[in-house]
Amino acid sequence: MSLGQDLAGKVAIVTGASRRMGRVIAHRLADSGASVVVNARTSRKDAEQVAEEIRAKGLPSIAIMADITDPEAVRDMADKVKDVFGGADILVNNVAVRRHAPLSETTFADWRFVMASILDGSFLCAQAFAPMLVERRGAIVNIGGASAHFGQKHHAAVMTAKMGLIGLTRALAIDLGPDVVVNCLIPGRIDGPNDKRTGSNRYPIERIPAGRAGTLEEVAEAVSMLCNPRSRFVNGQAIHISGGMLFGI
């Protein structure tokens, strides 16, 4: 089945794109015709492999190693995208971290690492790429987290950061509108290959009206939809992709 080329000629940056969800999102945007910048912090080999796979489809793609919590590194990444591609149309803030511990065992360093990775990184990337996105009437998709809405034990830092991401989404939609559309996509239980999370770290299937977990490909499809120029009236929203789990608890 042809996925269409709705994003032909667009340039997309996907943070945390070397593995799992980010990797699938990068491929889905490429399948829609976008050139993709694959960002990673340390997984150089994996990031280069994703970029190579996209180039094998006949589309431009590069991997850029950058710590998105470092303002200078983010500015350098934006400069490189400008030099190589002339600008950017899409930013997917996908970086996620999983540091879960009881409140009494959560160090301030752990707290700050989560906040920096999820909130600071999304802010810095949005700020650095905003001039290009405004010029090209682009889109930002922030990847939220279900735990911020349903609650999960030992997730204080992640829940706080992911809920803050919704506030950032709304602020960016106002500040960058009407030129840039900004939305937050919130995956529910998404099972991927080699997923080792079990027990209390997984939402029970019986709580999901759809009767199953979602797939990485379904999340990527939703990201592609939000980046589609025909979806520009969807703006400033926190959108759950959870098989109805919001109503199943």
pLDDT, tens only, 133-159: 999 999 999 999 888 777 778 778 888
CA-nearest of 176, 223, 241 to 29 is: 223
CA triple 69-169-119, angle to 5 deg: 20
**pLDDT at residue 202 in the model:** 67
Q: Which residues of the chain have pLDDT under 70?
A: 1-3, 99, 194-202, 247-249
Confidence (pTM): 0.92
3-state secondary structure of 61: strand
Q: What is the DSSP letter of 244?
A: T
* Token output for 40: 């990673």
The pLDDT of residue 97 is 78
Residue 199 pLDDT:
47
**What architecture (CATH level 2) is domain 11-247?**
3-Layer(aba) Sandwich (3.40)
Q: Percentages helix, strand, coil for the chain, rounded to the nearest 5?
A: 50, 15, 35
Domain parsing of the chain, residue ranges: 11-247
Partnered with residue 39 across adjacent β-strands are 64
For tokens 């996907």, what's the residue?
Answer: 14
pLDDT score of 29? 98
Picking from 238, 109, 78, the residue whose alpha carbon sits closest to that of residue 173 is 238
| Cα separation, 109 vs 70, whole angstroms | 16
Could you give the CA distance from residue 85 to residue 60 in angstroms, rounded to a whole number? 9
Rg (C-alpha) for the chain, rounded Å, is 17
